[in-house]
Amino acid sequence: MQDISLEQAISVLLEHTKKIEAVEEVPLLEALGRVLAEDAVATFDNPPFDRSPLDGYTFAAAGTKGATKEAPAAFTVIGEECAGDFFAAEVPAGSAVRLMTGAAIPKGCDCVVRQEDVTVEDGRIFVPYELHHHENYCFAGEDVRKGTRAVERGTELTAAHLGVLASLGFGTVKVLRRPRVAIASTGDELVLPGEPLRPGKIYNSNLYALAGRLREMGFCPEVIGILPDDAQQAASVIAGCRGKVDLFLTTGGVSVGKKDIMHEVVRLIGTRLFWRVCIKPGAPVIAYTVGDMLGIALSGNPFASYATFELLTRPVLEAFSGRSSVAGRAVEGFLADAFPKPSYGRRFIRAHYEAGIFEIPAQHDSGSLFSAAGCNALIDIPAGTGPLMAGTRVKGVLL
Ligand SMILES: Nc1nc2c(c(=O)[nH]1)N[C@H]1C(S)=C(S)[C@@H](COP(=O)(O)OP(=O)(O)OC[C@H]3O[C@@H](n4cnc5c(N)ncnc54)[C@H](O)[C@@H]3O)O[C@H]1N2
Ligand code: MOO
């Protein structure tokens, strides 16, 4: 099989990715980042009643006609209402109710005066200027009218959406089921952080970097852990997830070494879609299916798996969720630093991008993730490019 281009690889993966249409109802507090499955329509006017925007007094504005500092209008204060109280009686002309910001405006009243603008004496207030009908007055429904489509189906819910939905009384919302992603690392050399490091072993960093990346993107990966370099055992774990998982992600075991087991795993349980993509790092990626579960086996080198996760897995995750931010992540800019290596094949290098400038860290080996920690972009260097000088214009993609 010949190496395929990155674009071909993405298109093969997307052919095997179905948008998830299943719906589940979740508590509103757990709905951040989820995709709304049906329009959220306001079932009442919000705010639900006419209310005061000030701490002050409410009365009929007509009673202030001709009022001046010298000849203020007087009102008898017949009650008090804090936000949350409800003053049910009608307020007669010449009377006022003291009320706090957010309190409902009682019947008979049509304006509010700030409490610091009036004088209070013996249960009466003196208003030194004229007020108009509906002055300092908030109307029922002025935020959201009953029947308004407050949040549209398909919206990825942000914090502001949660606030709007809460204001309209939605305790739960119907959202699309999230893609179920399982993640594992292969390799007998791997040890979980926290355990002692024996000779020849290394700590498993891919599992943490990719599980973290999935969580940053709003997914809840099922973290399987380390699969041994035994194709039968690894195959049985992966096949056991069929029907429960949409995407099984692994790292390691995809090259040509003695223990590169993923080839055998795919032979045992699935159908290979492709092996090897014309990119550096991470070329030896395998894509496969096990029934309707998609598998992506990324290469084990930490930066290779980190970069190919962005380039190959992220479009799949977005397609599962019905989103596509891939195009929106493309950026162009100038190199702050030289990149002295020629790129015979298409190469992606880590960089920090800001305001049109890409800074490249000194360390960019596929086996090292250390310098990726300060990076937020991958520079896309076309095949056949010679050494690059500082100031060269390049394209990239934001992580
Ligand atoms: N003869 C050839 N050898 C290699 C080729 C090749 O074309 N011919 N390709 C090289 C390239 S490029 C890559 S990339 C790697 C891919 O290897 P694998 O995907 O099979 O990965 P492993 O051999 O399992 O591991 C590679 C490297 O990464 C370390 N590793 C693996 N998993 C983890 C983990 N979870 N956390 C941290 N580090 C991990 C592993 O110990 C190895 O050092 O193959 C080249 N070889
Ligand atoms: O594709 Mo590999 O990650 O360059 O070493």
Centre of ligand 2 to C-alpha 131, Å, is 75
Using CA atoms of 277, 280, 282, 285 in order, give the dihedral in degrees to the nearest 10.
Answer: 10
The residues that bridge with 251 in the sheet, in sequence order, are: 185, 298
What's the mean pLDDT when you consider all of the chain? 96
Closest protein CA for atom 4 of ligand 2? 281
Does a cis peptide bond (omega within 30 degrees of 0) precede residue 281? yes
Q: Looking at residues 4-19, what average pLDDT do you find? A: 96
Q: Looking at residues 118-134, what average pLDDT do you find? A: 98
Closest protein CA for atom 14 of ligand 1? 282
CATH superfamily label, 6-20+178-324: MoaB/Mog-like domain (3.40.980.10)
Centre of ligand 1 to C-alpha 354, Å, is 31
Separation CA 153–CA 176 (nearest Å):
10
Q: Domain ranges for the chain, please list them.
A: 6-20+178-324, 23-45+143-176, 56-127, 328-398
Give the binding-site residues of ligand 2, using a 6 Å CB cut-off: 280-283, 299, 301, 304, 366
Q: Write the CA distances from 162 to 25, 167, 237, 270, 312, integer angstroms.
A: 14, 9, 38, 41, 31
Does a cis peptide bond (omega within 30 degrees of 0) precede residue 47? yes
Q: pTM of this prediction?
A: 0.85
328-398 placed in CATH 3.30.420.480: no
Query: Is residue 136 over pLDDT 80?
Result: yes
Ligand 1 pocket test: which of 299, 348, 364, 370 has the largest number of ligand atoms within 8 Å of its C-beta?
A: 299
Q: Looking at residues 290-315, what average pLDDT do you find? A: 97
CA atoms within 13 A on the CB side of 72: 14
Nearest Cα residue to 18 out of 238, 174, 179, 249: 179
Ligand 2 pocket test: which of 206, 276, 279, 301 has the largest number of ligand atoms within 8 Å of its C-beta?
A: 301
The reported pLDDT for the residue numbered 81 is 97
Helix axes 231-239, 262-269, angle to 10 degrees: 50
Summarised one tens digit per residue, pLDDT across range 167-177 is 999 999 999 99
Q: What is the CA radius of gyration of the chain?
A: 32
Query: Is residue 328 over pLDDT 70?
Result: no
Query: Is residue 326 over pLDDT 60?
Result: no
CA atoms within 13 A on the CB side of 122: 1
Torsion region of 82: left, alpha or beta (phi above 0 gives left; psi -120 to 50 gives alpha): beta
Task: For 56-127, give the CATH class.
Answer: mainly beta
pLDDT tier at 375 (50, 70, 90 boundaries)? very high
- Render 297-352 in DSSP notation, one character per residue: EE-SSHHHHHHHIIIIIHHHHHHHTT---TGGGEEEEEESS-B-S-BSS-EEEEEE
Closest protein CA for atom 24 of ligand 1? 252
Atom of ligand 2 nearest to the CA of 283: 1
DSSP secondary structure letter of residue 385 = B
Separation CA 296–CA 127 (nearest Å):
74
Ligand 2 pocket test: which of 309, 366, 369 has the largest number of ligand atoms within 8 Å of its C-beta?
A: 366
pLDDT tier at 323 (50, 70, 90 boundaries)? confident
Task: For 23-45+143-176, give the CATH class.
Answer: alpha beta
Atom of ligand 2 nearest to the CA of 299: 3
The reported pLDDT for the residue numbered 149 is 98
Centre of ligand 2 to C-alpha 301, Å, is 7
Is 368's C-beta closer than 6 angstroms to any atom of ligand 1?
Answer: no
Is 270's C-beta closer than 6 angstroms to any atom of ligand 1?
Answer: no
Using CA atoms of 348, 350, 353, 359 in order, give the dihedral in degrees to the nearest 10.
Answer: -110
Atom of ligand 1 nearest to the CA of 297: 19
Ligand at shortest distance from the CA of 301: 1
